[in-house]
Amino acid sequence: MPFDYAPAPESRSIVDIESNYGLFIGGSFTEPTSGEFFKTINPATEEVLSEVAEAGQADVDAAVAAARRAYDKSWSKMSGKDRAKYIFRIARLIQERSRELAVLETLDNGKPIRESRDVDLPLVAAHFFYHAGWADKLEYAGYGPDPKSLGVAAQVIPWNFPLLMLAWKVAPALACGNTVVLKPAETTPLTALAFADICQQAGLPPGVVNIITGAGETGRMLVEHPDVDKVAFTGSTEVGKAIQRAVAGTKKKLTLELGGKAANIVFDDAPIDQAIEGIVNGIYFNQGHVCCAGSRLLLQESVAEEALASLKRRLTTLRLGDPLDKNTDIGAINSSMQLSKIEELTASGEAEGAERWSPTCPIPEKGFWFPPTLFTNVTQAHRIAREEIFGPVLSVLTFRTPEEAVAKANNTPFGLSAGIWTEKGSRILWMANQMRAGIVWANTFNRFDPTSPFGGFKESGFGREGGVQGLGAYLNVEDPS
């Protein structure tokens, strides 16, 4: 039985949400030419938070034109030192407004305030600080004595880490001297619009950052716009492939950060209690809406029973509920569509013969929720072992030898991340070399840092974000990754 904690809700009074938002083009908010707006809701309560503009072709054209003007007239001509001042200012404003932004993120996305406050927002600020530091030092980044910017960057981001994905995209683009048109996901536009306000507050020259809201169609128009020089996308593999087809044969430079189905591998010499925390963080963090989530647990057979018992015991202590409550571990699923996808895939797991287990977990009446779940008796052929569920669902498999662990871990069309839990340093190095994954964590999981490049192999995409490697994606040089 979990402890009966008293409620500890974060106040939402720090956030002022407007009843509707226009498009942020050329430094100010404008009405969409279509005159159309769509609703964004709180997935934990289904309450409408605001109405947001739907950008059509004319708006996309206007945003790209504003970014081009800003690029030609000011941003590409400015010294790196001056660009850095703006980016540092943005970073400091994010820190000053971090409580407000964390509450807003939790309201629009459904993630626990503990995560938006302690993980997302500190990382968002860190990304801007880190890249501000690079803006006047690009000649020392290893891309030649005078690396040049690309021009206008079209950036499309998903709903799982709305402001953090914005930071991953916008900070390096600006540091390298590009201007930006960014489209946030349809279900989570509010923190990107708050960021537009921060750009105004920082006195960023008009048009350097443009934020246009809309559905997938708006994203398609943006990435296909002929006056865009760079496309950066994070989202599903399916849409990533469509974008790659659309930019093929153009001069546009492309980075894709797509799905994953990471193996989290626990050897029999691993510190089990620590590994259990890593497994929980690996798949139940952010309701499992994480592209690099450790969604396939590989347990060495000799410790499988013991580890599974500990894991189940730990899962009974997770608290699902009000995302604004500081004691909440599992928040709301971001949308009814995502909930249906999780339900469909977990039903397929049972139909294919895997065994489902969840702790007893009261589910709120309103909103979109899914209890932390694990499946045993999973084989590699099961859909739940092959497809990205993007929810709080763990598939547990076992192995006997390191070679078998490697074969199983790499048996996926994805290649974004992997985790290794063992006491032996030599085994960590051997395993890390065998993993066909862009990020390999050892005795930890889901650790992020702006200095460390992030990106995938195979169907998880290409190009790197973060670190010195990530700068190459926004400079007129060969991408080293």
Number of residues located near ligand NDP, criterion CB under 6 A: 26
Give residue 6's Cα distance to chain centre.
Answer: 31
Which residue of this chain has its Cβ atom nearest to ligand NDP in the complex?
A: 219
Question: Applying CB under 6 A, which part among 88-96, 120-128, 230-238, 395-403 lies near ligand NDP?
Answer: 230-238
- In the set 106, 109, 160, 295, which binds ligand NDP (CB under 6 A)? 160
Of the candidates 209, 119, 103, 213, the one whose C-alpha atom is nearest the C-alpha of residue 161 is 119
Cβ-count burial 16-53 (b if 16+ within 10 Å, e if not): ebeeebbbbbbbebbebbeeebeebbbbbbeeebbebb
User: Does the footprint of ligand NDP cover residue 219 (CB under 6 A)?
Assistant: yes
* 261 versus 408: smaller Cβ distance to ligand NDP: 261
CB of 237 to ligand NDP, least distance (A): 7
Torsion of CA 212, 20, 194, 208, to 10 degrees: 30
DSSP state of 6: P
User: Does the footprint of ligand NDP cover residue 242 (CB under 6 A)?
Assistant: yes
CB of 53 to ligand NDP, least distance (A): 13
User: Does the footprint of ligand NDP cover residue 291 (CB under 6 A)?
Assistant: yes
User: Does the footprint of ligand NDP cover residue 156 (CB under 6 A)?
Assistant: yes
User: Does the footprint of ligand NDP cover residue 123 (CB under 6 A)?
Assistant: no
Of the candidates 317, 305, 326, the one whose C-alpha atom is nearest the C-alpha of residue 280 is 317
Q: Catalytic: 51? A: no
Q: Catalytic: 257? A: yes
CB of 156 to ligand NDP, least distance (A): 4
The first and second tokens of residue 396, run together, are 């547990």
Q: Which residues in 27-66 contact ligand NDP (CB under 6 A)?
A: none
CB of 82 to ligand NDP, least distance (A): 31
Q: Distance of CA 479 to CAs 92, 149, 244, Å? A: 30, 13, 16
**Residue 225, SS3?**
coil
CA distance 367 to 374: 22
* 372 versus 455: smaller Cβ distance to ligand NDP: 455
Q: Which residues in 335-394 contact ligand NDP (CB under 6 A)?
A: 338, 341, 388, 390
Decide if 109 contacts 150 (C-beta within 8 A).
no
Question: Applying CB under 6 A, which part among 18-26, 195-203, 233-241, 343-351 lies near ligand NDP?
Answer: 233-241
Of the candidates 392, 346, 348, the one whose C-alpha atom is nearest the C-alpha of residue 372 is 392
**Residue 169, SS3?**
helix
Helices 80-96/162-175 angle, 10° precision: 160
Segment (H or E) for 224:
helix 216-224
Binding map of ligand NDP across residues 304-343, x = CB under 6 A, - = no contact = ----------------------------------x--x--
Q: Which residues in 177-196 contact ligand NDP (CB under 6 A)?
A: 183, 185-186
Binding map of ligand NDP across residues 389-428, x = CB under 6 A, - = no contact = -x--------------------------------------
CB of 243 to ligand NDP, least distance (A): 6
Of the candidates 446, 457, 466, the one whose C-alpha atom is nearest the C-alpha of residue 416 is 457
The active-site residue out of 199, 291, 292, 361 is 291
Strand order in the sheet with 253-257: 28-30, 23-25, 209-211, 179-183, 152-156, 230-234, 253-257, 461-462
Residues annotated catalytic, as ranges:
257, 291
Give contact residues for ligand NDP (rule: CB under 6 A): 156-160, 183, 185-186, 215-216, 219-220, 223, 234-236, 239, 242-243, 258-259, 291, 338, 341, 388, 390
